[in-house]
A and B are shown apart, each in its own frame.
Chain A
Amino acid sequence: MDSSSTASTGSSSFRKFGLIALIAAFTIVAGACQKKVTAKPAALPPAPAAAPAPPTVKLSASPDFITQGQQSTLSWTSENATKLDLEPGVGSVQAQGSTAVSPSQSTTYTITASGPGGNAVDTVRVTVSPAAAAQPTQQSATIEELFARDVKDAFFDFNKANIRPDARVALTQTAAFLRAHPDLDVTIEGHCDERGSLEYNLGLGQRRADAAKNFLVALGISANRMTTMSWGKEHPFCTEHNETCWQENRRAHFVMAH
């Protein structure tokens, strides 16, 4: 088995490189997208010089979709305006700036810029979803969806419980989620592939779960929020007898604690 286990370690490091390359590729694509967006305002035609220039104003909200009780930041920029009015509820503001708002229901904000060259108006709508307390079932479903989307499992090499570079990336994302949801506790399940012995794998799975926990503790997540256990090879995610499947099963898996 030594020869094939070496081979499997080799293939998983290939996989690792592939993953890093993929992440790098995504980063480049994302960067390119951002450039395109920011390029648009720069393409606006320059204002004529002679007559008093008409004012321009631009208003944005980030995020423009919030849950009741959360805040959105309104940001604006203007040119050739002497007076700016942001309604409802804010009033007179500087030529450019930002302010936090917390509307209790969906609201359209209007900014009016006036100056020697006339008036200009821009609007932005902040959509507000009902508060968590109002509909607990919908809230918990949302959390579960977020958990499934943002919490990443850590994967391991054959017969190992050390945190690989790809697992560092995954656990760092998981830590961000746990930091954003300080009231949430998790169970970390250790899993192993089918090749090890039943009893040894129970121990190895525990070490994998603990390794993931310790990494998160190092990232500032409280140890009290995380309980570890091991299924060994008893509850595989994938039941085929090949390395792709074995890699799927060598993991520390996060489950929401109830």
Chain B
Amino acid sequence: MNAKRWSLGMAVLAIAAVGALALGAAPAPQAWFKTGTGMGVQKVRLALPDFAAAGATAQPLQQVFDKVLWDDLAYSGLIDMVSKSFYPIPSSWPSQPSQLQGQQQQWTQAPASAAMIAFGNMSVSGQTLSVSGWLEDLTNPAAAPMLSKIYTGPSTAKGARLLAHEMADDIVQLLSGGSPGIAQTHIVYSHQIGNVAELWVMDYDGANKHQITHLRTEAITPRWSPDAGEIAFTCFVPYRGVVSAQICLYSMAAHRVLYFPRFPGTNSAPDWSPNGSELAFSSSMRGDPEIWTTNSDGTHPRQLTFTPRSVNTSPVWNPKTGQQIVFVSDRGGLPELYMMNSDGTNVVKIELPGMGYVVDPTWSPNAQLLAFSWRRVNGNYDLYLMDIATHQLLQLTRDAGRNERPSWAADGRHLVFQSDRTGQSQIWTMLADGSGLRQLTHHGKNFSPNWSWK
């Protein structure tokens, strides 16, 4: 008992220390945070001179391509983009490797001080845009280019965006030691008009927003399957003549809602097991809202929690092992986080310093960190990161409205979330240290975002 109290005291001290550091202007890069996110290491300084465009048809596409590639790399969390004002004169910018021969020093010396350079050229032939791109290590001129690839796609602005995303992902994969980039991933979210909320999908940078469901009902809490082929969500549809919250499945390939069995009571907040074979969700099919799992087709319901007179919801599976589930329960009064084995055994409360209302948990892809929303005494919902092993905390948002429903990108360096800091709830992304805020939606009410991992 004494030992427990002592270690709790130490934990509170440690957290207080983190909190004090986090109060500074820039979030303090903690060792646990670097390990958990892969961020905070020395960023690579990369130069990205404009690509060369052959002909008038290629020129507008080149402008789209250059901007998207720049934004993707700048937002990767790994790369420090060298400002173009530090580059040598534009006539010396390479568009193919031969033009860089013997010129590396122009880029490595101050003020550019670049370690890497990406460059290339593009042309349009009929309906096809063809981009030749290279990545070279300026500090090792003798080595072959790290990347040398031809990207082809439709000769449209959309096509140019897609090719820029492809090249960005290749560069990020090379610079991150093999973990893939996220420039081709998508975000699903709920877009509300009146009493109807439909699911919409957009690119990770907010481009190409489009509606996918047409259910004329509330479609909320969407979650991508691990292969991004399906989306599980909460829908309000009739069960035995009464509209109630049910689990719905949407197929990205079939462009329609798939069959999923309906159950009594409220069924909500589905999440996928890491192999996609099971769903966990909250269901009151046999009394109060408890955590249940079913096979991904809705068969074999199994009850995992048994705490009458309380709400258990928001289950999230350990994405690495599938062996644990973190969920929200108010069995202790207010909603707080609990962890259990995925068979329902060994339930442990996740202790946080101070009172609060803790909701919307989500695991980082490497399962080392939890992100969640915590409403503390100031009345705001703010996003926090917690190291699962040590329970150390980092506050990500502060004094900027309600911030809720965080969801990780596959790279473990980005989060998407909803915030009402501009008025209505909108979708935002940021780097996992709280920097790099980007507002992705601006019109109407948008909420419940979830980031695809493929």
Residue ranges of A at the interface with B (Cβ–Cβ < 8 Å): 1-4, 159, 187, 196-200, 202-207, 210, 227-232, 234-235, 257
Interface size on B, residues (CB 8 A): 47
Given A199-B328, A200-B313, A234-B220, A229-B266 contact (CB < 8 Å): yes
Whether B242 pairs with A207 at a CB distance below 8 angstroms is no
Q: Decide if A235 touches B266 in the complex (CB within 8 Å).
A: no
Contact assessment for B330 and A197 in the assembled complex, using a CB-CB cutoff below 8 Å: no
Which residue of chain A lies nearest to B404 when distances are taken between CB atoms in the complex?
A197
The answer to whether the Cβ of B265 comes within 8 Å of any Cβ in the partner chain is: yes
Closest to B190 in A: A198
Residue of B nearest to A255 (CB): B242
Per the bound structure, the CA–CA distance linking A232 and B313 in Å amounts to: 13
Interface residues in B209-260 (C-beta closer than 8 Å to A): 218, 220-221, 234, 236, 240-245
Taking CB atoms, residues of chain A closer than 8 Å to B405 are 197-198
Which of A200, A205, A227, A235 touches B242 (beta carbons < 8 Å)? A227
Tell me which residues across on chain A come within 8 A of B241, comparing CB atoms.
Answer: 227, 257
Contact residues in B for A231 (Cβ distance below 8 Å): 236
User: How far in angstroms is the closest Cβ of chain A from B161?
Assistant: 32
B242 lies within 8 A of A257 (CB): yes
| Bound Cα distance from A198 to B218, whole angstroms | 12
5 more contacts with CB within 8 A, not counting A198-B447, A232-B245, are: A1-B357, A1-B376, A196-B357, A203-B312, A230-B244
Any A CB within 8 A of the CB of B318:
no
Indicate if the CB atoms of B284 and A206 lie closer than 8 Å. yes
Q: Do residues A2 and B311 form an inter-chain contact, with CB atoms below 8 A?
A: no
Q: Which residues of B contact A207 (CB under 8 A)?
A: 284, 288-289, 309, 311
Which residues 406-454 in B have Cβ within 8 Å of A in the complex?
Answer: 447-448
B377 engages A1 (CB within 8 Å): yes
A sample of 15 inter-chain contacts (CB < 8 A) reads A1-B378, A3-B377, A197-B335, A197-B360, A198-B221, A198-B405, A199-B328, A202-B269, A203-B311, A204-B311, A227-B240, A228-B265, A229-B243, A229-B245, A234-B236
Smallest Cβ-Cβ distance to B284: which chain A residue: A206
From B312, B334, B356, B379, give the contact of A159 (CB < 8 A). Answer: B334
Q: Are A1 and B360 neighbours in the complex by a CB distance under 8 Å? A: no
B377 touching A2, Cβ below 8 Å = yes
B-side residues, CB < 8 A to A, are 195, 197, 218, 220-221, 234, 236, 240-245, 265-266, 268-269, 282, 284, 288-289, 309, 311-314, 328, 330, 334-335, 355-357, 359-360, 373, 375-381, 404-405, 447-448
Minimum CB–CB distance for B305 against chain A, Å: 12
- Contact residues in A for B265 (Cβ distance below 8 Å): 206, 228-229
Instruction: List residues of chain A with CB within 8 A of the CB of B356.
Output: 1-2
Assembled-state Cα–Cα distance A227/B264 (Å): 9
Cα–Cα distance between A257 and B242 once the two chains are bound (Å): 8
Which residues of chain B come closer than 8 Å to A198, judged between CB atoms?
220-221, 404-405, 447-448
Contacts of B288 in A (CB 8 A): 206-207, 210
A203 touches B282 (CB 8 A): yes
Shortest Cβ distance from residue A10 to the other chain B in the assembled complex, whole angstroms: 16
B328: contacting residue among A1, A159, A200, CB under 8 A: A200
Instruction: Enumerate chain A residues within 8 angstroms of B269, measured Cβ to Cβ.
Output: 199, 202
CA distance A235 to B195 in the complex (A): 7
Given A210-B284, A229-B266, are A197 and B359 also a contact pair (CB < 8 Å)? Answer: yes
List residues of chain B with CB within 8 A of the CB of A210: 284, 288
| A220–B173 alpha-carbon span in the complex (Å) | 66
> Closest residue to B287 on the A side, CB-wise?
A210
CB-CB under 8 A from A234, the residues of chain B are 195, 197, 218, 220, 236
Max chain B Cβ within 10 angstroms of own Cβ: one of A196, A235, A257: A196
Most interface-central of A2, A4, A187, A197 (chain B CB within 10 A): A197
Residue among A198, A205, A234 having the largest count of chain B Cβ atoms under 10 Å:
A198
Closest to B327 in A: A199
Q: How far is the CB of B340 from chain A (nearest CB, A)?
A: 17
Complex Cα–Cα for A96 and B270 (A): 71
**B221 engages A205 (CB within 8 Å):** no
Contact A205:B266 (CB < 8 A) given known A2-B377, A4-B379: yes
Complex contact B328–A230 (CB within 8 A): no
CB of B280, distance to nearest CB on chain A (Å): 12
Most-contacted residue by chain A among B195, B241, B243, B268 (CB, 10 A) = B268
What residues of A have a CB within 8 angstroms of the CB of B197 in the complex?
234
Min Cβ gap B314→A in Å is 5
- CB pair B289–A203 under 8 Å, yes or no, is yes
CA distance A207 to B268 in the complex (A): 14
Complex Cα gap A230–B131 (Å): 53
B266 touches A1 (CB 8 A): no
A200 close to B314 (CB less than 8 A): yes
Report the separation of the CA atoms of residues A2 and B266 in the bound assembly, to the nearest whole angstrom. 28
Q: Which residues of B contact A200 (CB under 8 A)?
A: 311, 313-314, 328, 330, 335, 359
CB distance B245 to A202 under 8 Å?
yes
Given contacts A202-B269, A203-B284, A228-B265, contact A187 B218 (CB under 8 A): no
Q: Is the CB of A187 within 8 A of B282?
A: no
Closest to A206 in B: B266
Asked if B268 contacts A202 (CB within 8 A), the reply is: yes
Residues of chain A with a CB closer than 8 A to B377's CB: 1-3
Chain B residues, CB < 8 A from A187: 242
